[in-house]
């Protein structure tokens, strides 16, 4: 129990919140990394998934990419990128690794969502004389939106986790508090950092959960129990 009270004292010490190594700075770093990389990954993954889903091609790739992403250790990719010329740029390896690990869930969910649209509805749209792009934007995307948003949620949680591991390879973010704690052999700091990271991750998950509850019925993901 003493460790927990020590961690609490560490957290409530005002000196640990300010400065370049302070909690606020690390929190903002973590948030910016997550948001920027989420936008980047969406810009990369969603157009590909929508086009592949619309054409009904490349399904094996879109589905298997998630399995491949799971088998490759995040930490290994971070270190490999760090040792390439990319490592010269401060947050370069982190950003690339974050995007690499956020793309698979986005791609797979959006593709599965697109293919899950009732073919009769698509046929009806074609019968009404809709062009390919009209069918995509007015029929398929709206109907696939719950699954697409589910992918965004999974990607966001994944990004928070990956950004934490980035600290092991010298990246910024809340994980730095943990790694600095390990270097100082300060268990209270390690635990305090872990609590912050866990709270941040749960907050992100909670916000998506809340957004899903508040969203109009047709946006909700019906596949989750």
Partner 1 sequence: MTAPPDDCLARNAWICGKYLSTRRGILTDAVLQHLELTGLSVLIALVVAVPLAVLARRLRAAAGPVLALTTVLYTIPSLAMFSLLLPLYGLSASLVVAGLVLYSLTLLVRNILAGLRAVPEETRQAARGMGYGPLRLLLTVELPLALPSAMAGLRIATVSAVSLVTIGAIVGHGGLGNLIYTGMNTYFKAQVLTASVLCVVIAVAADLLLLGVQRLLTPWQRA
Q: Name the residues that contact partner 1, by CB under 8 A.
A: 3-4, 67, 70-77, 79-80, 82-83, 157, 160-161, 164-165, 167-169, 175, 178-179, 181-182, 187, 190-191, 193-195, 197-198, 201-202, 205
Q: Which one, 23 or 136, has the nearer CB to partner 1?
A: 23
In whole angstroms, the minimum distance from the beta carbon of 71 to partner 1 comes to 4
Nearer to partner 1, 126 or 208 (CB): 208
Closest-CA residue to 108 (of 68, 54, 65, 71): 65
Q: Residue 75, CB half-sphere, CA atoms under 13 Å: how many?
A: 4
Least Å from the CB of residue 126 to partner 1: 34
Query: Exposed/middle/buried for 67, CB within 10 Å: 0-12, 13-18, 19+?
Result: exposed
Cβ closer to partner 1: 46 or 146? Answer: 146
* Integer Cα distance of 191 and 207 in angstroms: 24
- Judged by beta carbon, residue 205 or residue 212, the one nearer partner 1 is 205
- Exposure of 198 in the CB half-sphere (CA atoms within 13 A): 6
Distance CA 30, CA 199 (A): 13
**Nearest distance, CB of residue 152 and partner 1, angstroms:** 15
* Shortest distance, position 27 Cβ to partner 1, whole Å: 14
């Amino acid at each position: 129990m003493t460790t927990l009270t020590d961690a609490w004292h560490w957290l409530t010490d005002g000196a640990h919140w300010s400065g370049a190594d302070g909690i606020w700075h690390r929190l903002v770093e973590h948030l910016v990394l997550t948001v920027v990389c989420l936008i980047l990954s969406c810009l990369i993954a969603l157009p590909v998934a929508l086009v592949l889903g619309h054409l009904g091609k490349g399904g094996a790739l879109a589905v298997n990419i998630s399995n491949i992403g799971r088998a490759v250790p995040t930490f290994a990719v971070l270190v490999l990128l760090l040792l390439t010329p990319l490592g010269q740029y401060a947050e370069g390896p982190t950003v690339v690794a974050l995007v690499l690990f956020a793309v698979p869930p986005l791609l797979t969910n959006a593709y599965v969502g697109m293919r899950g649209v009732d073919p009769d509805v698509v046929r009806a749209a074609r019968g009404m004389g809709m062009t390919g792009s009209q069918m995509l934007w007015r029929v398929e995307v709206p109907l696939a939106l719950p699954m697409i948003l589910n992918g965004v949620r999974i990607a966001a949680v994944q990004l928070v986790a990956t950004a934490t591991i980035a600290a092991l390879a010298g990246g910024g973010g809340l994980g730095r508090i943990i790694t600095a704690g390990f270097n100082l052999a300060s268990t209270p700091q390690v635990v305090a950092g872990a609590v912050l990271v866990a709270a941040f991750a749960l907050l992100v998950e909670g916000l998506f959960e809340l957004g899903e509850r508040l969203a109009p019925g047709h946006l909700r993901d019906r596949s989750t129990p």
